[in-house]
Structures are given as C-alpha cells and as structure tokens.
Structure 1
Amino acid sequence: MKKVVVSGKTVADAVRLGLTQLGVAEDRVQVTVLEQPVKGFFGLIGAKDAKVEVEKLPDPLEEAEIFLQDVCSTMNLAVKVERTETAEGLTFNLTGPELGMLIGRRGQTLDALQYLVNIVANRYSDTHLKIILDAEQFRERRRKTLEDLARRLADRVVRTRKEMVLEPMPPQERKVIHSYLQTHHAVKTFSKGEEPNRRIVITLR
C-alpha cells in the first residue's frame, strides 16, 4: 500500500490514522490536505471531518532491492538479499544458486550491477548512499587474490629492479593493491592512464 485517503476530526488526527494504516513514521510520508474540518452550526449540524491523503515516500534501500530482485528475476535467478552494515558502507549480500552469472569474469557483472543499484538508491535519497553488492563472499575472496598478486609482483620488482605495470583495474581493486603495498619497505605504487584503462605501476622506492 503506497497511499491512503483518511478522515479525522482534525488534520492531525487524520494524519495519525494514515500513518497507522501505512505503518510508517511521519518523516516517511507526504501529506496532502484534501478537506479542512468544518465545525458546523453549534459545533454539530453540518460538521465535516478533515480529509487527507497520506502517501508513503519511496525508501531508497527498498527501491534498490526491488530493482535488484527485478534484474535477478529477468535472469531467472532466485536470490535472497541480506543487508549488513560494514565500515565501507551498506552491503547487499546475495545468496542463492548459480550466482556465478551475477558475478561475471573477475566480478565485472557484479560491479556493473552494483553501479546501477547505487544509481537507483540515490535517486530516492537526499543524502549520498553507498551500497556494496556482494555474492558468495566474492569481495573478500577477490581482495585476498589481489593482495597475493600485489605481494608476488612487489617481490618481483625488488628482485629484478624493474617496475611492473598491471592490467587495467576498476578503482576499488586498485585501492586494494595501493593499500596493501603502502607500507612496503622497498616498493611504492601509483596509477596512470584514464578510466577505464587506468593501471597500477609498482616501482622501487
């Protein structure tokens, strides 16, 4: 139920009734007064209650989840979405069969879907929201893979005394490698190039 039309002795009474029916707080609705109350003759004859329309405002996270479920349904995938708070922001954890289709090669499909989910959520939000999309703990597994790669390449740079230029990576993956090597005693990192072909360079300090 998105909106209701309700009546009450006063506008406030009508709004309270509408909030009860919708099951939301007042800051989550838009109220339109359709009719002001009329006291009537001697306070009785011809009296009319107030009438208001109480409309539930879209919840950014609900809208993002609905969009996500619609995409999965189109792909004939049955998924369950669990929301969790992390240091980096709100995470939508996806569980279900055949999630490899949603993850894609090196998480490219998951990243694209995450981008779209954030667009949908922020369309309905007054403040900027950051939603991380994850499936089958892919983000954690990918982080460990990138850290292993960073360690191996750093060792190679130290051994050969030659810098290494990595293949293009999305910003969040570059951040993992930069963070992992920022305290390395012998190498340093920087990025070069333009998106989507921006690359990390690992070189001697």
Structure 2
Amino acid sequence: MTDQRLERGQQWLETLLNLAGIATTVDTQQPEHSNASNYWLTIDRDKLTPVQIEHLIGTDGATIDAIQYLANASLNIHQEADLQAGYTIELDGYRHRRAIALKAIADEAAEQVRTTGKEVILQPMSSAERRQMHTFFDTETDYRDLATYSRGQEPDRRLVIKLAQTPDDEPSQLAGDSENGD
C-alpha cells in the first residue's frame, strides 16, 4: 500500500511535468515513521535550466505550492482513507530553505509575544506554510507557552501567535478564525 501511494504520486508529478514540456524525473522519499503518510516527491534539478527551476518554484513559492496543492487534491480524491497520503513537492532545496526561514520567523514572533504579552499577526502565507507554522508551535517544547490560530480569508489569511490561554480564559473566535489549523 505504501509503495502504491508513493508510485502514484511519482507518476502523477512526472506526467504533469511532461505535459508542461519539462523533461525530468521525480525522486521519492518515504516517511521516516512507518505509520506516517506524507511522501516527498523531489523534482530532479539536474535536467532543468535555472530559468525552469525559477518558474517551477515561482514568486514566493507560489508555483510549487500550487503544484503541491493539485497533487494532494488530485491524488486523494475518491480514495479510501487508508489510501490517502500527503505529498510534499520539493525542488532545488526550496522546502528545506523555506523551513529554516519559517523557523526564524516563528522564533522572532515568539520572542515578541513573550516580550509584549500581545498577539503577533504574521504576513499572509500559503495554507501549507501556515500548517507548518502551526506544527512548529504545537510540537516544539520552546513554544509550549504559546498558541496559534489562523485569521482572515484567502488570499489574506494570516497566522496569529499569542500567549497560551489558561483554562479560565474564554477564546474569542471571529469569523474566519480557526484554532491550530486552516
């Protein structure tokens, strides 16, 4: 089953790239944990020109984010729950570099919230990046005293970081707000 999902993702991305006139291959990486269902599909940069790489990543990652969204939507539609998976599209180390940048943004925002006691609203980012930020704050021990939620509507949806609420605090939810997710 795992290999089937991985092969399906690889074939889908290679077909998409071929339809776009981009002759390259896609390398795959299985999740580290046996129960994980997120697969990395890495576009081989060696067969691409710098201009092709730039176009496939797009301004602020917009193109690679769109490809990733399409991959996840297309590959999971009409699939039984146990055949669904998450796919991360990588090219030229973009996701790795972006994760480092997002971690720096998270660290800076966390420091600001702790210093001022006020929530920090970040610049708009893609839903994939907001989920990644939520995951940073949910899983890293450095952020246990903080909470996140998303506010607003696309394309201006933003991540909000605040001090974690005590059980006595009442959450104030505005239209378009969602706690720890999108």
Global fold match (TM > 0.5): yes
Q: Which residue of 1 aligns with 2:122?
A: 166
Structure 2: state its 5+ residue gaps. Answer: 1-6, 165-182
Aligned equivalents of 2:104 and 2:70: distance in 1? Answer: 29
Out of 154, 157, 170, the residue aligned to residue 198 of structure 1 is 157
Q: Structure 1: 5+ residue runs without aligned partners?
A: 1-58
Alpha-carbon distance in 1 for matches of 2:9, 2:109: 40
Deviation digits for residues 87-127 of structure 1 (CA, Å, limit 9, x no counterpart): 45222101223212111122110011122233443468663
Correspondence 1:83-94 to 2 at 5 A? 83-86=28-31, 87-94=36-43
Q: Is the 8 A contact 1:122 1:129 kept in 2?
A: yes
TM superposition score normalised by structure 2: 0.66
Instruction: Identify, as 1 or 2, the structure richer in strand.
Output: 1
The answer to whether 1:178 aligns with 2:134 is yes
Letter in 1 for 2:161: I
Greater length-normalized contact order (CA 8 Å, ≥ 6 residues apart): 2
Bigger Rg over Cα: 1
Is residue 35 of structure 2 the alignment partner of residue 81 of structure 1? Answer: no
Q: 1:191 aligns to what SS in structure 2?
A: strand
In terms of fraction of residues, the more helix-rich structure is 2
User: SS of the residue aligned with 2:125?
Assistant: coil
Contact 1:60 1:122 (8 Å CA) reproduced: no
SS at match of 1:79: coil
Task: Establish whether residue 150 from structure 1 lines up as the match of residue 99 from structure 2.
Answer: no
Q: Distance in 1 between matches of 2:72 and 2:135?
A: 24
Normalising to structure 1: TM-score of the pair? 0.59
Does the aligned pair in 2 maintain the 1:84–1:90 contact within 8 Å? yes
What's the counterpart of residue 68 of structure 1? 16
% identical equivalent positions: 30
- The 5-angstrom pairing of residues 121-132 of structure 1 reads 121-122=75-76, 127-132=83-88
How many residues were matched structurally?
145
Once structures 1 and 2 are overlaid, which stretch shifts more, 115-124 or 95-104?
Answer: 115-124
Check whether the contact 1:64–1:118 (CA below 8 A) recurs between aligned residues: no
Matched residue SS, 2:107: helix
CA RMSD, Structure 1 to Structure 2 (Å): 2.7
